[in-house]
Amino acid sequence: MTKQDLEEKLLSIVRGKRKVLILTHENPDPDGIAAAFGLKYIFKTMGVPAIIAYSGIIGRAENQHMVQLLGIDMVPYLKVTPRNFSVVALVDGQPHTGNVPLPKGLKPTIVIDHHPLRKSALDAEYVDVRRDIGSTSSIITQYIRILNLPVDRKVATALYYGIKSDTRDLGRQSTEQDIRASVYLYPYIMPKQLSRIEHPRLPREYFAELYGILKNARIYGDAVVARVDRISWPEMIGEFADELIKIEGIHWCMCYGRHNGHLLFSIRTTRSTHMAGVLAHKISHGIGSGGGHETYAAGKVELAQAIKKLKDPEDTLLRRFLREVNIKDAEPKGLIETVEQPPALPQPNQCKNGH
Ligand SMILES: [Mn+2]
């Protein structure tokens, strides 16, 4: 891609426009937030103002810190009227995936993403959907580089963290292009702010939920499954799935729980040849939606609808998952129970009356 390509195909769409809306997926993650912020910055250098709107919530402590410390202005989707904007750009997501806020019949003008291409994205005037890149933030970084724009430090920090977070420190599904984008941004990042974003203080609810999920985690062969009983913010399911997939000997993980009328689930696998995204799509077939990447994916079941067809949506989801990962009636064991207790230490004589 050359500077001329970008100018003719992307910038020409927004040049002279008064109102541009940038959207990302529901409950935006650092990659979605950073890509939106970076695109807004590119438009700003052309004198075109843009508004970033989000649906769902920004719940994760890291993401809240990112938005606050880097001054990323995002307005709730319900407060904007997408039809009033002459240009609607969608980043880190595509239309009709079930997790993107777009009114029925409204096609985005611009789609920039790194998830598997959906036909519905091709209706946009500008489409840049690439599977061979680990994050949408890397694509936006390439644009900034190709256009030879001055690098804003807040934008650089956001994009750097977006790449780092989506690729789990340049490991998961990252490519040479993500590394190059990170190296390009690195001299401009704000290290103190980045550290505060990556290592936030956490609300007590987080630890209560962590306790619950560890207690609920069940091992079926090489898969671990855990129900999350209380979900303070929806991304928590993915965060816990990222934790549990670290268990030695485990190749598959699914975490799930109810939130706002939905049954949310996240899937992880260590097997890069396996399509977690396809699996997420399959197990939610007919009762919801799901999708994602090779090793990580997510989805949701609409409970109001699912309950009409199914007695126990959680049980159906679990059975479908176990069937897909080839676990045949394995007896589950509690994660904690599979750990050998250390031998008891000899007890000193205990005095019952407190002396
Ligand atoms: Mn992404």
* 181 & 212 share domain: no
Tell me, what's the pLDDT at 245? 96
* 232 & 324 share domain: yes
Residue 130 identity: R
92 Cα: distance to centroid of ligand 1 (angstroms): 5
**299 is a domain residue:** yes
Sign of CA dihedral 218, 220, 224, 226: negative
The rounded mean pLDDT for the chain is: 93
CA distances to 95, 227, 264, 304, 306 from 261, in Å: 22, 16, 9, 7, 11
* 158 & 214 share domain: no
31 Cα: distance to centroid of ligand 1 (angstroms): 5
135 Cα: distance to centroid of ligand 1 (angstroms): 5
All residues with CB under 5 Å from ion ligand 1: 31, 92, 136, 166
Tens digit of pLDDT for each residue in 202-215? 989 889 999 999 99
> pLDDT band for position 146 (50/70/90)?
very high
Look at residue 107 and tell me whether its pLDDT is greater than 70.
yes
32 Cα: distance to centroid of ligand 1 (angstroms): 6
Please identify, among 146, 163, 198, the residue that sits at the C-terminal boundary of a domain.
198
* 49 & 85 share domain: yes
* 271 & 139 share domain: no
Residue-range definition of the domain harbouring residue 250: 205-335
**343 is a domain residue:** no
> pLDDT band for position 353 (50/70/90)?
low
86 Cα: distance to centroid of ligand 1 (angstroms): 25
Tell me, what's the pLDDT at 272? 74
Bridge-based pairing of strands 223-227 and 218-220 is antiparallel
Q: CATH number of the domain that 239 lies in?
A: 3.10.310.40
> pLDDT band for position 354 (50/70/90)?
low
Mean per-residue pLDDT, 289-293: 90
Tens digit of pLDDT for each residue in 42-80? 999 999 999 999 999 998 999 999 999 999 999 999 999
Tens digit of pLDDT for each residue in 331-341? 899 999 988 88
353 Cα: distance to centroid of ligand 1 (angstroms): 61
Tens digit of pLDDT for each residue in 23-32? 999 999 999 9
Q: CATH number of the domain that 187 lies in?
A: 3.90.1640.10
Please check whether residue 265 is in contact with residue 230, taking contact to mean a CB–CB distance below 8 angstroms.
no
Look at residue 189 and tell me whether its pLDDT is greater than 90.
yes
141 Cα: distance to centroid of ligand 1 (angstroms): 13
* 181 & 43 share domain: yes
* 111 & 168 share domain: yes
> pLDDT band for position 232 (50/70/90)?
confident
137 Cα: distance to centroid of ligand 1 (angstroms): 7
Residue 50 identity: A
166 Cα: distance to centroid of ligand 1 (angstroms): 6
Mean per-residue pLDDT, 185-190: 98
* 74 & 192 share domain: yes
Structural domains of the chain, count: 2
* 86 & 233 share domain: no
* 323 & 182 share domain: no
Provide the whole-model pTM.
0.88
C-alpha span between 200 and 203 (Å, rounded): 10
* 20 & 58 share domain: yes
